[in-house]
Amino acid sequence: MTSTTTRFPSDLYWMPGYKHEARRWDATTADAFNAREEIHWWRGKVVPPVAGAIVAVCSFKGDGGLTEFRFYPVTLVDTTPSRSGLPLLAEAGVAKKITERVGQLSAPFGTKVEFKDGIGVIKL
């Protein structure tokens, strides 16, 4: 909940493109938000092509080997400041786009991502 946060981790204040005003030892959360707005962080310059996230669930064999990786595509609430960032399961169309994006990012590593029943599945 960003509206009630009094401090952020120090690395947030050192994000690329932030002006020196946000890099002071006494910088506030408002300074960080102002610095973010100045570089248009939410306007597509840093945000990935598909706005969303994933929640991962791993399955293992008895010997500890990973057998399957499933992920649930989520979108982040962007309504009121008190609910901002709350993850919700993505609707089917958005879930497919998020899964396709993960597939694009995974392809160079030889990993195939399948979209099945609204979730992403990687079989190993």
DSSP annotation string for 12-46: HHT-TT--GGGGSTT--HHHHHHHHHHTTGGGTTS
85: DSSP letter: T
**Per-residue pLDDT at 47:** 46
Task: At 104, list the tokens.
Answer: 């694009």
Report the greatest alpha carbon distance in the chain. 53
pLDDT tens per residue, the chain (124 residues)? Answer: 456 777 777 777 777 777 777 777 788 887 877 776 655 444 444 444 556 789 999 999 989 899 999 999 998 776 666 676 788 899 999 999 999 989 998 999 999 999 999 999 998 8
